[in-house]
Structure 1
Amino acid sequence: MSTIGELLRQWRHRRRLSQLDLALAADVSARHVSLVETGKSNPSADMVLRLAKQLDVPLRERNRLLLAAGFAPRYAERPLDGDALSAARDAVGRVLRAHEPYPALVLDRRWNIAMTNRAVDPFLADVAPELLRPPINMLRLGLDPRGLAPRLVNLDDVRAVLRSRITRQLATAPDAELTALYEELLVPDSTDTPSRPAESDIVIPMIFRFDGRELRLFSTITTFGTPMDITLDEVAIESYYPADPETVAYFTKVDQDQHG
């Protein structure tokens, strides 16, 4: 098991900060940071959390830092569908419903789908049943030939955007299972030929061939601002918006047909 000093040094290097940078941000001396990293000083629990906050360490990993320093974890991890998080779950549900008639869903840190609104359902109609067994993974659902991949007109562009997002996510919060998904689904090969660089547009839409037409959607991500629970720290709401009038008209008509 790594020591608290080793873990803090790893996170500091990951954030590309010097000991002085971290010390100034945390309002401590650079000497103290050095002593903690080399194991010559044992930090208090409050000091561990102060340094972790400046290093933007995820709550799950803050617990690991506390354990390495000899302290009990501070952050609980409760299921989103449990009673303890019922208020948060209800709030998320309201956000999802308010976004209808456009699709929105909730993803965990490994891109497993935790919740969706009704607008997502038609997109899952022709997906292979094995991809819809819980936990449903959004990356596999989107990139597997048995999933949404055949419907994605610009699959290579979408794959390039996802590759960039997952790379940034892993740099921020390394995770073995997400790394395995990246290696399974997103490692570049000779068949990847994006039609343009991912940076060439402000937003690159996903273009679905659906119901005999092309639907163009772009997405935004919403997270909890100051979570104190690991589950809430790691979930995000992905909301999809129409990128052209034709897509607006399609979802408006579907909503009207469903509600009379």
Structure 2
Amino acid sequence: MPSFQLGERLRGWRERRALSQMALALQAEVSTRHLSFVETGRAQPGRELILRLAEELEIPLRERNVLLAAAGFAPVFEQRPFEHPSFDPVRAIIDVTLARHRPFPAFVIDRHWNVVRSNGGVPAMYEGIDASLLQAPTNVVRLMLHPLGMAPRVQRLAAWRSHFVVQMRRQFDLTGDPGLGALLREALAWPGGMAPLDESTGGPAMTLDIDTSIGRLSFISAITVFGSPVDVTLQEIALEVMHPADAFTERVVRAAAKEREARSDCQGKAAGNARK
């Protein structure tokens, strides 16, 4: 990427953040003149300046590596697979959280809303979903909003569709990720309408209410991200846990889990007796 293209890319991020050259120059402690020269390709920025500008512009780590490489510098932020040994402490935290949250759903998603890890909670939520949507990588947006997914059983679907669309647009604005843009366009093509988030549940947060074979279940979600990431993969994952929003959901989900466990124990004993 020549200097001019590098400068154009930096200018694009500045405009995406709605910052003037003067405002960014003040934040990054660089002269407006020099920043102008960088953006027009008349000046080649050093490694430190690229990282400082990227920090002020909140550019994702993945894109910071691209900018550094374009300027002839080695990437600073590693991008290791989630199963890499260096992620052992992170995976341990995640696995403990997933296990402790059973029998309620919890999962890890990546930047494209694909499920990276799951605790398999509440299988009844996924009954009747088309098999194609359950193939890896399973995508949360498709599971929730696709007409062959959970959508027909989700209450206030239009409000939830609006919620997902707003979230994806915000992420796309922040990252410029073409994969997110493609997923957003795909979601907008599905039926379901759009509606503002309503307050019909009477609670402080909108609940996910979905009809299942064990009854209408209601959940409130909490999302966790890891602070101060220096690895691309870690920056791009989030942990979502779904908590029961009412006593009925708490009761029937726990009862269904106990029933599955009892059936599994019986099947295990039967298989053991058959081998004797």
Normalising by the residue count of structure 1, what TM-score does the alignment of the two structures yield? 0.89
Unmatched runs of 5 consecutive residues or more in structure 1: none
CA distance in 1: counterparts of 2:253 and 2:168, whole angstroms: 29
Q: Report the CA distance between 1:31 and its aligned residue.
A: 2.4
Q: Is the aligned partner of 1:178 residue 2:180?
A: yes
CA distance in 2: counterparts of 1:34 and 1:169, whole angstroms: 27
Deviations 1:140-164 (A, max 9, x none): 1112232212221222221111011
Look up the match of 2:166. 164
CA distance in 1: counterparts of 2:128 and 2:80, whole angstroms: 33
Q: Is the aligned partner of 1:198 residue 2:197?
A: yes
Look up the match of 2:14. 12
Q: Report the CA distance between 1:187 and its aligned residue.
A: 4.7
CA distance in 1: counterparts of 2:216 and 2:198, whole angstroms: 23
Q: Report the CA distance between 1:211 and its aligned residue.
A: 2.4
Q: Is the aligned partner of 1:88 residue 2:90?
A: yes
The amino acid that maps onto 1:160 is S
Deviations 1:187-212 (A, max 9, x none): 587x5153xx2275852211110124
CA distance in 2: counterparts of 1:257 and 1:18, whole angstroms: 61
Look up the match of 1:252. 254
Question: Paired residue for 1:222, among 201, 221, 224?
Answer: 224
Look up the match of 1:38. 40
Look up the match of 1:62. 64
Q: Report the CA distance between 1:72 and its aligned residue.
A: 1.7
CA distance in 1: counterparts of 2:123 and 2:213, whole angstroms: 14
1:222–1:249 Cα change, 3 Å: same
CA contact (8 A) 1:149 1:155 kept: yes
Once the two structures are superposed, the pairs formed by residues 98-177 of structure 1 within 5 Å of their partners are: 98-177=100-179
CA distance in 1: counterparts of 2:139 and 2:127, whole angstroms: 16
Unmatched runs of 5 consecutive residues or more in structure 2: 263-276
Q: Report the CA distance between 1:229 and its aligned residue.
A: 1.0
The amino acid that maps onto 2:246 is D
Sequence identity (%) = 39
1:25–1:231 Cα change, 3 Å: same
Q: How many residues align?
A: 257
Structure showing greater radius of gyration is: 2
CA distance in 1: counterparts of 2:256 and 2:52, whole angstroms: 50
CA distance in 2: counterparts of 1:16 and 1:193, whole angstroms: 27
Q: Please report the RMSD computed on the Cα atoms of aligned residues, expressed in angstroms.
A: 2.2
The amino acid that maps onto 1:192 is G
The amino acid that maps onto 1:198 is L
CA distance in 1: counterparts of 2:143 and 2:215, whole angstroms: 21
Q: Report the CA distance between 1:38 and its aligned residue.
A: 1.8
CA contact (8 A) 1:224 1:232 kept: yes
Normalising by the residue count of structure 2, what TM-score does the alignment of the two structures yield? 0.85
